Amino acid sequence: MAKEIILANAPTGFPVTEMGRADSTFELRQVDLPELKNNQLLLKTIFISNDPGETFQDFSRVVTAGFVLLIFARLVPSRLFSARLRSMKSRSKNGSKSRLESL
């Protein structure tokens, strides 16, 4: 199970952070994660920026549906990722770390 944070109601003033109210700014949902397909990665969110809520009295013009906030994430190890990393390590002839290993 994973958690989704949905912009339920675009705020017209300060965000309503209490969940479960009809006027809540955000809605928290529990969702099942589908199996990863080829060339897909699973990322775990570490930090989501919500700066407009702290810097503007009315940011309804700034944040709209589909707007992507600044997000920091960590790669969740998976079979596909592990196989790709092993392949990259075996191709490294000079012993230097790959970009993925150095993160």
Give CA–CA dist 45/3, Å, rounded: 10
| Mean pLDDT on 66-94 | 60
Where does the pLDDT of residue 102 fall: very low under 50, low under 70, confident under 90, or very high at 90 and above? very low
Percentage of residues in the chain having pLDDT higher than 70: 52
Model confidence pLDDT, tens digit, residues 33-43: 888 888 788 88
Backbone φ, ψ for residue 73 (5° rounding): -140, 160
Question: What are the sequence ranges of the domains in the chain?
Answer: 2-77
**Average pLDDT taken over every residue of the chain:** 70
29 pairs with which residues across the strands? 4
